[in-house]
Amino acid sequence: MLCQECQEKEASVHVTKIINNQKQELYFCKECAQATGELNFGSDFSFNNLLTGLLNSKPQSHHQINLSNKQLRCNSCNLSYQEFSHNGRLGCSQCYEYFSDKVDKILRRIHSSSRHTGKIPKRAGENVRVKRKIKNLKEEMGQAVDKEEFERAAVLRDKIKDLEGNLDDRR
């Protein structure tokens, strides 16, 4: 596909903008993307800078400790939290445990979970996907019951039974 701006070079940058629920897709070569200001290709963008921004963002509540005032260090490799937040890399496997409360919060902000569940191949993983769906529906059903939304809970219960029946048929 050619660049939408210059119509000469191959587009290597795909920009998707969603403004007021209106989706717009743009295709640029690197030079035109820089010239139009759609993307900043400056040398200051990196995963480390992204992670550093997340690490150094303002605390969520006034109860949290200001980490710049307290020098936290890993007991194993002596890496300080300040060094970790600057370079975005932990020094050893013990750092995960030592800085666990901070790392967990960062992972939740990035991935909405601090637990990696991985991906499953389509051919082999249908049962696992169904089991995950059942687990999620059971959680939703529990929330519906807690909110006394019994009609919704009944619909979810029926979906769970259907999925469990399909699961039994595959075994």
Place 158 in a pLDDT band, splitting at 50, 70 and 90: very high
Does position 147 have pLDDT exceeding 90, yes or no? yes
Place 171 in a pLDDT band, splitting at 50, 70 and 90: low
Does position 166 have pLDDT exceeding 70, yes or no? yes
Give pLDDT, residue 44.
Answer: 53
- Rounded to an integer, what distance in angstroms lies between the CA atom of residue 96 and that of residue 90? 7
For residue 143 the two structure tokens come to: 């929330």
Give per-residue pLDDT as tens, 63-119.
Answer: 344 444 357 788 889 888 878 777 777 888 888 888 887 777 777 776 666 666 666
- Rounded to an integer, what distance in angstroms lies between the CA atom of residue 6 and that of residue 4? 6
| Angle subtended by helix axes 150-170 and 126-146, to nearest 10 | 160
Does position 17 have pLDDT exceeding 70, yes or no? yes
Mean pLDDT, the chain, whole residue set: 77
Distance of CA 96 to the CA centre of its chain: 18
Question: Is residue 140 within 8 Å of 156, Cβ to Cβ?
Answer: yes
Question: Is residue 10 within 8 Å of 29, Cβ to Cβ?
Answer: yes
